A and B are shown apart, each in its own frame.
Chain A
């Protein structure tokens, strides 16, 4: 095998610099600053800071409000991930069977992907508008007075719906291409071996989709935890009050609205640790059970 070599040691370093610089400036530096300031109590007007040790962390963990947000985030992440994956898989399996007009169908489904999160949140706000939102009116038919931004559960429902709707297209594209990469003859062999369509799906199709599903699971959890910020922000309209919010949104609210930089930093450090643990856990536990062809 031919090995390419560099004549000077500086060229490879030079080529790596842009990537390393981006990681350093946008990830390591903020992470270190966050870690550092999480041990301090900052003056809200920026006149100085006092070292408080682990106080920010103990305050957080002792706070009922923080636990409430954490529980909501967990529920929210779970529901958004499960529903966006399940719906996308269902749509992909159905789309895979469509022969006529398949392209139009796929394009229509994928369009949603191009919608920015705040826009998705805004559409949800319109749909659930207090006085003329069509979904509000639909709920009214069933005798439920839907109050987005006022009622905790109603607001949570709107957030989850918008987040799922926004994420389904991405999952759909991945699932559909995974389905289409299953060899036709393998499916046909299953057709001869098993008369039950659902049996064939769970025994053959689903295990062959597992690598894609695993990848999407990680992407979706990350999405629900972090990228739904725009949706949450639009739905609660910057007035958290009694409304549901996610941990990431709370970092923003406490840090930039409440000017509690230390507490906010401590929260982001906890989030970083959480994501790290989650990723390690997923790869350790799940990946072992997945067959890559």
Chain B
């Protein structure tokens, strides 16, 4: 059953700026959906529209089978975790977590029990009487999580909740949030600009660009079968190699060599993931390696393939040196995109 249903949802500001083009999609019960895209792509706007903090200017939004367009944020049965935590600075951790329950007329004893339970789950038991200013960034993040989970809502909303944490803590919290969501089974929408977060946490990724949804799919689908050059370049670090070339006589020409067979003709953009290029003395194309980036478990070779820059991912057993290198490509790993519009062919 669809827990959240977006039906032709769009957002146009009074000044005429269209922040979100009308979109249709559904998020299933218990699903962890990640909205990802560069800043200004409309992902936060979309999330805020779900929360009721931003007006929906067209279409219908339903949460758990109820149309919520005209319903106040407090009555939408959602809980939100904000980027800068948005804790109430004058309240103790206990009060911060319990505030949403208190206003819903839940008996005091029940609130205390729920707050204790959430605090135990989030390792906050020793800090219940502290003020937010006495906590570290990671602990504040947990309080914000606690405030969301005690409510036991139909939907969790996360607005870049990890972007204020340092890299190590971010990695840890990523796993904690994901595990918590699995355990609680609450449908979640998570907004981030970090494609690694999107790849590692999502059941389904929604890639957005300039107020439009570029692609919806599982992390593997989005990674291996990007719907456009935008998705190909945005997802993955390093991104997919995108090389402008021609298809002639049933073969893809690349820097004077025939990369593989194709049914297409004319100008195309070839997309190959860095790990799908293989060093091969008998390979059809040759690249000029300029820089070898040593990453321990593997190496990245940066250089030129004809006029285009390419990155090739090789295992650490391959002793790479700057200079010419012949490459072949894994069978079935080549993706073709329209040379003009950038969409997948």
| Residues of A in contact with B (beta carbons under 8 Å apart) | 183, 185-186, 188-196, 199, 203-204, 207-208, 210, 291, 293
* Alpha-carbon distance A188/B82, docked complex (angstroms): 9
**Interface presence of B129 (CB below 8 A):** no
B105 CB, nearest partner CB in chain A, Å: 11
Partner of A199, one of B87, B103, B131: B103
* Alpha-carbon distance A185/B147, docked complex (angstroms): 14
The 8 closest A-B pairs by CB, nearest first: A195-B74, A185-B86, A193-B100, A291-B90, A189-B86, A194-B103, A185-B82, A207-B90
Interface residues of B in 72-130 (CB under 8 A from A): 72-75, 78-80, 82-84, 86-90, 99-100, 103
Knowing A199-B103, A203-B99, A293-B133 touch, does A192 contact B80 (C-beta < 8 A)?
A: yes
Q: Which A residue sits closest to B74, measured CB to CB?
A: A195
Q: Is the Cβ of B84 less than 8 Å from the Cβ of A185?
A: yes
Partner of B88, one of A191, A192, A195, A204: A204
Please, which residues of chain A bring their CB within 8 A of the CB of B100?
192-194
Please, which residues of chain B bring their CB within 8 A of the CB of A189?
80, 82, 86-88, 147
Please, which residues of chain B bring their CB within 8 A of the CB of A196?
103
Partner of B78, one of A183, A190, A192, A210: A192
Q: Is the Cβ of B103 less than 8 Å from the Cβ of A191?
A: no
Please, which residues of chain A bring their CB within 8 A of the CB of B74?
191-195
Size range of the chain B interface in the assembly: 20 to 34
Please, which residues of chain B bring their CB within 8 A of the CB of A188?
51, 53, 73, 80, 82, 86
| Residues of B in contact with A (beta carbons under 8 Å apart) | 51-53, 72-75, 78-80, 82-84, 86-90, 99-100, 103, 131, 133, 147
Please, which residues of chain A bring their CB within 8 A of the CB of B87?
186, 189
A-B contact pairs, 18 of them (CB 8 A): A183-B84, A186-B87, A186-B88, A188-B53, A189-B86, A189-B88, A189-B147, A191-B72, A192-B51, A192-B78, A192-B80, A194-B100, A195-B75, A199-B103, A208-B89, A208-B90, A291-B131, A293-B133
Please, which residues of chain B bring their CB within 8 A of the CB of A190?
88
* Alpha-carbon distance A183/B132, docked complex (angstroms): 14
A220 CB, nearest partner CB in chain B, Å: 23
* Alpha-carbon distance A196/B147, docked complex (angstroms): 18
* Alpha-carbon distance A194/B86, docked complex (angstroms): 14
Beyond A188-B51, A192-B73: 8 further Cβ-contacts under 8 Å? A188-B86, A189-B88, A191-B53, A192-B51, A192-B79, A193-B100, A193-B103, A194-B100
Q: Which B residue sits closest to A293, measured CB to CB?
A: B89
Q: Is the Cβ of A195 less than 8 Å from the Cβ of B103?
A: yes
* Alpha-carbon distance A210/B79, docked complex (angstroms): 28
Q: Which A residue sits closest to B144, measured CB to CB?
A: A189
* Alpha-carbon distance A207/B91, docked complex (angstroms): 9
Please, which residues of chain B bring their CB within 8 A of the CB of A210?
90
Please, which residues of chain B bring their CB within 8 A of the CB of A183?
84, 86
Please, which residues of chain A bring their CB within 8 A of the CB of B133?
293
Please, which residues of chain A bring their CB within 8 A of the CB of B131?
291
* Alpha-carbon distance A191/B54, docked complex (angstroms): 12
Please, which residues of chain B bring their CB within 8 A of the CB of A192?
51-52, 73-74, 78-80, 100
Q: Is the Cβ of A194 less than 8 Å from the Cβ of B99?
A: yes
* Alpha-carbon distance A196/B73, docked complex (angstroms): 11
Residue from the set A188, A199, A208 with the largest chain B CB neighbour count within 10 Å: A188
Q: Which B residue sits closest to A99, measured CB to CB?
A: B14
Please, which residues of chain A bring their CB within 8 A of the CB of B73?
188, 191-192
Please, which residues of chain B bring their CB within 8 A of the CB of A204?
88
Please, which residues of chain A bring their CB within 8 A of the CB of B78?
192
Q: Which B residue sits closest to A191, measured CB to CB?
A: B73
Q: Which A residue sits closest to B101, measured CB to CB?
A: A193
Please, which residues of chain B bring their CB within 8 A of the CB of A291?
89-90, 131
Knowing A193-B74, A195-B74 touch, does A186 contact B86 (C-beta < 8 A)?
A: yes
Residue from the set B53, B72, B75, B78 with the largest chain A CB neighbour count within 10 Å: B53
* Alpha-carbon distance A196/B100, docked complex (angstroms): 12
Residue from the set A193, A199, A203, A291 with the largest chain B CB neighbour count within 10 Å: A193
* Alpha-carbon distance A12/B52, docked complex (angstroms): 59
Q: Which B residue sits closest to A196, measured CB to CB?
A: B103
B46 CB, nearest partner CB in chain A, Å: 15
Please, which residues of chain A bring their CB within 8 A of the CB of B79?
192
* Alpha-carbon distance A190/B147, docked complex (angstroms): 11
* Alpha-carbon distance A192/B80, docked complex (angstroms): 8
